[in-house]
Chains A and B, each alone.
Chain A
């Protein structure tokens, strides 16, 4: 098992701003955040191979813009923002490729879930993913961040640029819609 390098965010941000140390420091950032960002993206785009592409794009975008990151926000907040933008861009591109209106929900992403070799959930899990995919994009994000990542509303507020009150309301609406989906599809 690979030993994890010690992660001190303040030190890493300093190293990221120096030419001699930035690459090594970014390696530590990738090691520290790749897994949590992977799961966040996976819950948005569903397919493993697509997630792999989006995650790669997220880190490359972060790396090429590392000079613009001044450390005003937390590194995790910045990376999550990039990951969310990349996920939404990817989903919209896929909708265009599949001749689906951009206004439609993301249910099409779940259609191939049963055939996915990197999915071993049961029928109930597939139904839950279908229910989540019917939510509007922002509600999907809020639901995933709160329910699966158990992220604090304050942190979500920084990432999504929405007030805590609005996020709570959004999560509540998402729960109601999922319950309704299950009731209607029993």
Chain B
């Protein structure tokens, strides 16, 4: 008897006086089993190996795609980090300054001018 129970209930006890026929539960169980209708069970399919590894394959493909895109578009690489980029930067810088050394080559077209500057920049870089 728990301490929360009242004194009246303590006197009465926990047997309510209900009875069942002899062998009731065994008879009930067997009769009930005989009367159960047929049921259709939806069995869960066991996951195949492909279903188990699929998320990891998809994730790997996604990262590979991102890596490829970054390489194609040079994302994440500093413009000054590569020698060619440094040279081009210098060419543009020099191109905007007064062309003291190139005054004599007035007949050179723009492309030639750039190439000349490129050569010059390469020598500076060395």
Contact = CB atoms under 8 A, between A and B. Distances in A.
A89 interface: no
A31 interface: yes
A178 B26 contact: no
Interface in A66-82: 66-67
B39 A63 contact: yes
A34 B4 contact: no
Contact of B5 (A23, A26, A121, A147): A147
B87 to A, nearest CB: 67
17 contacts: A16-B41, A17-B41, A18-B41, A30-B32, A39-B18, A55-B28, A59-B32, A60-B35, A63-B37, A64-B39, A66-B41, A67-B39, A121-B15, A121-B18, A125-B17, A178-B9, A179-B8
Interface residues of B, number: 30
B25 interface: yes
A35 to B, nearest CB: 5
A52 interface: yes
A19 B43 contact: yes
B34 to A, nearest CB: 11
Interface residues of A, number: 44
Contacts, number: 100
A169 to B, nearest CB: 12
Among B8, B16, B17, B41, max chain A CB count under 10 A is at B16
A35 B25 contact: yes
B19 A119 contact: yes
A138 interface: no
Contact of A27 (B4, B17, B19, B29): B29
Contacts of B106: none
Contacts of A17: 41, 43-44
Contact of B19 (A30, A118, A175): A118
Contacts of A64: 37, 39
A144 B124 CA distance: 97
A96 interface: no
A59 to B, nearest CB: 6
Contact of B18 (A59, A119, A122, A182): A119
A172 interface: yes
Interface centre among B32, B35, B37 (most CB of A within 10 A): B32
